[in-house]
Amino acid sequence: MFKGSDYHIPVLYTEVLETLLIKPNGIYVDCTAGGGGHSSGILKRLSPPGVLISIDQDPAALTTTKLKLESLNQNNAQFILVNAQFSHLREILNNLKITKVDGVLADLGVSSHQIDTAERGFSFQKDGTLDMRMDPANPVNAADIVNNSNAEELIYIFRVYGEEKFAQRIVAAIIAEREIKPFRSTFDLVNLIKKVVPAKSKREKHPAKRIFQALRIAVNQELKELEELLNVLPQCVKSGGRIDLISFHSLEDRLIKHRFQEWENPCTCPQDFPICICGNVPLGKMIGRRGITATAEEIAENSRARSARLRVFEMI
């Protein structure tokens, strides 16, 4: 039997399936199909006329998902694969003549396969092309940003998206190095960062980790994509439906948490007003305040689950 885990190990698998409150006849969207891990769990719980819509911007991920779902669909529930960015969710549903769905999942992490495939350029531990595009059709890759952005742009990317305290020092070294030769491979960049970052910082974590995160976010416009998804989600989910979002770093988690809080309590009236006069109505409620993190057992089996946090919102 085809194993999606060969491609990607889904994090918080059990927790996602429990919190989505899957109904056998419901309509569910997996915004980040990956290798079909979460999608397969959802599909197993569906039966006609239940529908699963699996979205991914990476065609290779959808190919793997298709094989995975075909091998598991014993209940003959319908599944639909869509090659697109999840920010287009409203448009995707419109094209399918679907007004609202019963649940939406987005796992915002990079897939294990993407990290482990050196030529995709996501890993600072493998030598490959400095690429980092989740969508191969994206005209801009990480090398383009490193070689062509000015100092101010690079400092912004590294400080804001990577929260890198040595951003200015690293950028100065990049600017000097690329005048000699352009950056082509992941190790071109990793080796330069190792030379620049102080030894104490190297002992705490891999010195290139934050820079690679920042470049990946910039290449794929990940925060913009997430914001656009959050803008359309309330229009797409039925009353009683659940929204499950898994983040892997504080930038994503803050966006999700603050938006969920706004949906739960949208009132803009001054606190000393006796009654609400702004007219903003709550959209639902957060399920749990701190989010759900991986168990020690899951982290032992899959270290990439360590930084995952699942936040759940229920529409009213």
> Is the C-alpha dihedral spanning 300, 191, 224, 279 positive or negative?
positive
pLDDT for 21: 98
Length of the chain: 316
- Is 209 strand, coil or helix? helix
pLDDT for 203: 66
Burial class (CB in 10 A: 0-12, 13-18, 19+), 281: exposed
CATH fold of the domain at 4-113+222-315: Rossmann fold (3.40.50)
Q: What is the DSSP letter of 303?
A: G
Q: Which distant-in-sequence residues (6+ apart) come within 8 Å of 65 by Cβ? A: 4, 33, 34, 35, 36, 39, 54, 56, 81
Q: Where are the domains of the chain?
A: 4-113+222-315, 123-220
pLDDT for 205: 81
The H or E element containing residue 240 is strand 237-247
| Alpha-carbon distances, residue 247 vs 33, 93, 105, 305 (angstroms) | 15, 24, 11, 10
Q: Which distant-in-sequence residues (6+ apart) come within 8 Å of 43 by Cβ? A: 52, 69, 72, 73, 75, 77, 79
Residue numbers in the chain where pLDDT is lower than 50: 1-5
- 219-246: pLDDT as tens digits: 999 999 999 999 999 999 999 999 999 9
Q: Tell me the C-alpha distance between 119 and 113, whole Å.
A: 11
CA-only gyration radius of the chain, Å:
21
| Under 8 Å between Cβ of 282 and 265 | yes
Q: Tell me the C-alpha distance between 46 and 28, whole Å.
A: 9
- 131-163: pLDDT as tens digits: 999 999 999 999 999 999 999 999 999 999 999
pLDDT for 74: 75
pLDDT for 172: 98
| Alpha-carbon distances, residue 171 vs 122, 146, 164, 189, 211 (angstroms) | 19, 9, 11, 11, 10
Same fold, 4-113+222-315 and 123-220: no
- Is 309 strand, coil or helix? strand
From 3.90.1150.10, 1.10.150.170, 2.40.340.10, 3.30.70.1450, which CATH number describes the 123-220 domain? 1.10.150.170
Q: Tell me the C-alpha distance between 152 and 36, whole Å.
A: 39
